[in-house]
Amino acid sequence: MEILIELLPTLRVLSRADKLRAVQYLVSELVRDEDTGLLRSDKSYPVWSPYDAHEAADILLKALEADKNG
């Protein structure tokens, strides 16, 4: 708590942009500490793509035709 009391006057005189950077830094530290399972910048995640998803396209087309017909 003593360190925070020492930091407060310095934080007050920062520019708006620097205050936002400080907040962003602190939030990222909290997320890293909690490891909440959110997306992390040091990991890669698979992303589904509609390319070559012929079976899914066929199912969607059949559903659209069924809706159109009745």
pLDDT tens for residues 15-54?
999 999 999 999 888 877 776 666 777 888 888 888 888 9
Q: pTM value?
A: 0.47
If pLDDT is split at 50, 70 and 90, which confidence band does 6 have? very high
Under a CB-based contact definition with an 8 Å cutoff, are residues 39 and 31 in contact? no
Question: In this predicted structure, what is the pLDDT of residue 37?
Answer: 66
- In sequence order, what are the residues at sequence separation of 6 or more whose Cβ sits closer than 8 angstroms to the Cβ of residue 14? 22
Rounded-to-integer distance, Cα 43 and Cα 35, Å: 13
Rounded-to-integer distance, Cα 61 and Cα 67, Å: 10
- In sequence order, what are the residues at sequence separation of 6 or more whose Cβ sits closer than 8 angstroms to the Cβ of residue 11? 19, 22
Question: In this predicted structure, what is the pLDDT of residue 35?
Answer: 67
